[in-house]
Amino acid sequence: MSAVLVVGLCLGAMPADAPLRLVQETPRLVLSQAEAPAASPDSSALMVARMEDYLDAERAESRLFVGMGLLSIAGGATALAASDRDFLKGASLPLMGVGLIQLVVGGTVWWRTEEQKSQLRQLILSAPARYVSEESARMKVVNDNFVIYRWTELSLLGAGLATAGAGHALDKDFVTGLGAGLAFQSAVMLTLDYFAEQRGGEYAEQVAGFRF
């Protein structure tokens, strides 16, 4: 698999809170003396619940990433080592490559979500103005990235289908399998990111509408 495809798959495999955004997306915890007053108990409790619902959904998807990654790596390794069919050997490469990305990204997001929830909860309760400002900016980056992910995944899906078609026309089973595996993983990531984008857009609206 070319370096371009690997980079593209890395982009497409990132959930909304991918580790590449960890430093710029993590809310600051140092509170200034001039911070705005804390939100009212009712509004802050509602915003905390909405924030936790969003991050819980992200964590649930991260478990799906881990499961898919493990299955892809195991299935691809088995096909590569035990099968004498060129189609399966070709398909095993994108399966294992993207599976490794899914495993790392899913595990990282799952591991840090509870800490992120704690940080955002503290910000909502003690510095709601800062929460709205910083979380709105973070979610804008997250949601803007979904456009990149979508076009990357659509491009890789098209490339996979074209590769599979060319392999079939040339009677090259390895090439056909390579394209089929790439198209399959791209389609899976396109589907998952669609739902993640919907959640991210809804949460961004909730943050912008937070009244304290």
Average pLDDT over residues 69-75: 95
Q: What is the pLDDT of residue 7?
A: 41
**pLDDT of 39:** 60
Task: Calculate what percentage of the chain has a pLDDT beyond 70.
Answer: 82
Q: What is the mean pLDDT of the chain?
A: 85
Looking at residue 8, the DSSP 8-state letter turns out to be H
Reported as a pLDDT band with limits 50, 70 and 90, residue 38 is low
Residues 144-197: tens digit of each pLDDT: 999 999 999 999 999 999 999 999 999 999 999 999 999 999 999 999 999 999
Q: In this structure, which amino acid lies at residue 194?
A: Y
Choice between 5 and 186, residue whose per-residue pLDDT is larger = 186
Tell me the DSSP string of 54-118: HHHHHHHHHHHHHHHHHHHHHHHHHHHHH---HHHHHHHHHHHHHHHHHHHHHHHHHHHHHHHHH
Query: Average of pLDDT values for 68-80?
Result: 94
75-107: pLDDT as tens digits: 999 989 888 899 999 999 999 999 999 999 899
CA 99 – CA 9 distance, rounded (Å): 10
**Model confidence band, residue 41 (pLDDT cutoffs 50, 70, 90):** confident
pLDDT of 15 above 80: no
Residues of the chain with pLDDT > 90, as a percent, come to: 75
